[in-house]
Chains A and B, each alone.
Chain A
């Protein structure tokens, strides 16, 4: 199959190219040797914590590497420039662009495979190709089980599995997190709660010190523990920001396994508040 980079791949490549350029500081040119580029990589800004990107050096005369790890390869391109290259996701092909130290970026280069005849492939390239083909076979073999897991996840809380809902006690302090109700399913448990909305200057600072901070998400998903008194270990399987625009905000966490029939109470603990919900049927 021919690898084709699309505009998203090209855009993401340019996004990644900004980091080594920024890390260059006041240096006149990009380093052209391994140690210089590896030092540059050490000084790259970290980027979004939830999407760490791995950068690595590759020599200009090396056949392109494929590691399926979304690595951004920095390759000396001569005249103080860098070729920034990344694998097209899930393909044996790459998209690259040469960036000059003044920020000029060349045309996108797209290459299928290794860009050289098979007879010129190095041992490393053959190993990369074999590993890529093995991963693809494994993915194909894993596909039915993968689809089964998706099916299970998407249908776990179908209406036929709903047993009943249980309201949390009234009179909880409105200034803190408040449990609204539990939904008990044969396949799990849903916890519906409200949390105070942080002030606007916290939610949307004009000039955030940490540009990747997400105070709204942090607030709506506080640390929560649930205890049924029977030692059941609940695992969060889904999180929903039901309403982040309201004040208080509303969130929902879904857990497995189902609450055992012998459980009489669910205790929901936030950092500062614990709410006990009586499960006894009226």
Chain B
């Protein structure tokens, strides 16, 4: 059964409605194609899918301003893909085989449609501000991309940190950066039946620890390559940094929540 709260979530409801429409269309396409032994031509398939969807919905408009209510395309004669938008930037998609196997279900997001507006003439100040923001964005992007995590070198482990609420577990050194791995406890998740899905997941996302890294030769380390964490009552986090420590550095100092731990870099 759906978790309480989800029934009230409009997006969830719309996505499920799109899925059910997609499956009803899939059944009809399969019912027709199985007799032929294939799904027909790409063009006929796409047109037939839209016609069936129109028949089922009574000609209801698509949730997406530029896409039909159902899109069908041929993967090969006995396989098709189907996609049904459920808002202006998301769709649910499946692939179907002629033997009735349904696979590869996914939600696709991020092809938003915005009515383009004529750009207004920018003032000199506005243009300068835009260029400044672009320059900042370029620097940020370059920093994020600097650590590629492609060539692992070795792991460093710190001394034990009894009593630390967020002990550092290890540093994974690569040729162009490193990951800092840490762990911390989390409160047991609570569930509010009145909360909507978005609120529910927002509450579950705990505050990530802020980690800073320094060394004995003054290298400026910055976050790079992103990171992640997971766990219900215990979180294990991994956060990327660049650059790689220089050969002259003897130790990394990692600080989180006001406590520091030092990892000798050795050979």
Contacts and interface: CB of A to CB of B under 8 A. Distances in A.
Given A99-B27, A162-B183, A21 B238 contact: no
Interface in A161-176: 162-171, 174
Nearest to B181: A192
Contacts of A163: 160
B232 interface: yes
B248 to A, nearest CB: 19
B26 interface: yes
Interface stretch (A11-19, A115-123, A130-138, A228-236): A11-19
B137 interface: no
Contacts of B169: 162, 165, 181, 183
B233 interface: yes
A212 B27 CA distance: 20
A74 interface: no
Contacts of A174: 151-152
A252 B233 CA distance: 17
Interface residues of A, number: 69
Contact of B28 (A91, A103, A192, A212): A103
**Interface size class, chain B:** 35 or more
A211 interface: yes
A50 interface: no
A142 B88 CA distance: 46
Given A14-B24, A45-B97, A159 B185 contact: yes
B103 A25 contact: no
Most-contacted residue by chain A among B155, B172, B183 (CB, 10 A):
B155
Given A8-B16, A105-B27, A164-B157, A23 B238 contact: no
Contact of A45 (B101, B160, B181, B228): B101
B37 interface: yes
B152 A158 contact: no
B contact face: mostly helix, strand, loop, or mixed: mixed
Contacts of A48: 103
B165 A159 contact: yes
A100 B37 contact: no
Contacts of A99: 27
Interface stretch (A61-69, A243-251, A266-274): A243-251
Given A45-B97, A162-B183, A180-B170, A240 B236 contact: yes
A151 B16 CA distance: 33
A180 B96 contact: no
Interface in B28-59: 28-32, 34-35, 37
A169 B23 CA distance: 53
A157 interface: yes
B226 to A, nearest CB: 9
B241 to A, nearest CB: 14
B44 to A, nearest CB: 16
Nearest to A184: B160
Interface string A70-104: 00000000000000000011110000000111111
Interface in B2-37: 2, 7, 13, 16-17, 19-20, 23-24, 26-32, 34-35, 37
Contacts of A157: 183, 234
B157 to A, nearest CB: 4
A7 B104 contact: no
Interface of A: 4, 6-11, 14-15, 17-26, 44-45, 47-48, 88-91, 99-105, 154-155, 157-160, 162-171, 174, 178, 180-181, 183, 192, 194, 206-207, 211-212, 240, 242-243, 246-248, 250, 252
7 contacts: A7-B2, A7-B19, A159-B167, A159-B184, A168-B154, A171-B154, A178-B152
Interface of B: 1-2, 7, 13, 16-17, 19-20, 23-24, 26-32, 34-35, 37, 75-76, 79, 95-104, 149-160, 164-167, 169-170, 172, 181, 183-185, 188, 225, 228, 230, 232-234, 236, 238
Given A8-B1, A8-B16, 11 more contacts: A8-B2, A11-B23, A104-B31, A159-B234, A168-B155, A171-B154, A206-B75, A211-B101, A242-B238, A243-B238, A246-B225
List the 6 closest A-B pairs by CB distance, nearest first. A22-B100, A103-B31, A170-B154, A211-B103, A7-B16, A14-B23
